[in-house]
Amino acid sequence: MRSSIMLVKRLRLLLKEVGLMYGTVSEEGKVEVNFIYELPQQGTEDILMLLRDSDEEKLVEAIAAGLGMRRVGFIFTQSITQDNKDYTLSNREVLQAAELHAESGLKEWVTAVVKLDVNEDGGADVHFEAFQMSDMCIRLFKEGWFETEIREDADPKLSIMKKDVVVGSKDVKEVDNDFFLVVVKILDHVSALQRELGYGSIFGPGHDILLPTYSLARAYRISTCSLSFEDPFSVYVR
């Protein structure tokens, strides 16, 4: 039985997974995340396809609004096979992060990355990082400068532009993905939902704050969490 459980864990670590983060943004720009909605998706070791359902997302938005929250960020895992790669985010991940950031219209939007290593027990050692896509990245994405069709032999650490852009003092079409990332400080935070239900709990019955939305929350893969990020705009944005 134990070996079967370990096998399932290893298989999950081989695939990319993604979710949308919901919470609040303070007047000072501090982002607090209280739950994560797992989008319909199909993941492989290196590619994640979102199978978005607009009707389902509207219901999740309604749940969030009822709790006084909104969509504040994007979180995804990198598979264990990506651990040995020499990049922070791949070009596909940059495109996906830029698309969701641009769609949100929220300047404090956060992109969080969970990196996984398999330990000796077959479980996962988790490394957590948070970023904001730079203003330049979002502007270039909105204006259609990014090549969105990525060749299989393309270097994953480079984003390809349709036209030359200026990086430093050079005109280039291949841009290191790190150029588009602004590091965001992660802060301690315990959400009201976590205090009520426990970390990672699916919204459940018997909790007055969540009772009206329980069936929807369980059906639409919503789980509690506690994440908090310093105002991304207190740091330099390229």
CATH code for position 91: 3.40.140
pLDDT of residue 126: 74
pLDDT value, residue 40: 86
State residue 121's pLDDT score.
76
Establish if 166 belongs to a structural domain: no
Does residue 43 lie within any of the structural domains? yes
**7 lies in a domain?**
yes
Residue 200 lies in a domain: yes
156 lies in some domain: no
The CA distance from 35 to 69, in Å, is: 9
- Whether residue 113 is contained in a domain is answered as yes
Low-confidence ranges of the chain (pLDDT < 50): 1-11, 199-220, 232-238
pLDDT at 233: 45
In a domain, 34, yes or no: yes
Write down the pLDDT at residue 95: 96
Residue 200: which region, alpha, beta or left (left: phi > 0; alpha: psi -120 to 50)?
Answer: left
**Given this model, what pLDDT does residue 176 score?**
95
Q: What is the pLDDT of residue 82?
A: 56
Total number of domains constituting the chain:
1
Which residues form the domain of 42?
Answer: 2-140+177-234
**Contact (Cβ atoms closer than 8 angstroms) between residue 74 and residue 95:** no
The per-residue pLDDT for 225 is 63
pTM of the model: 0.77
CB within 8 Å of 191: residues ≥ 6 apart: 23, 32, 33, 34, 35, 224, 225, 226
Residue 222 lies in a domain: yes
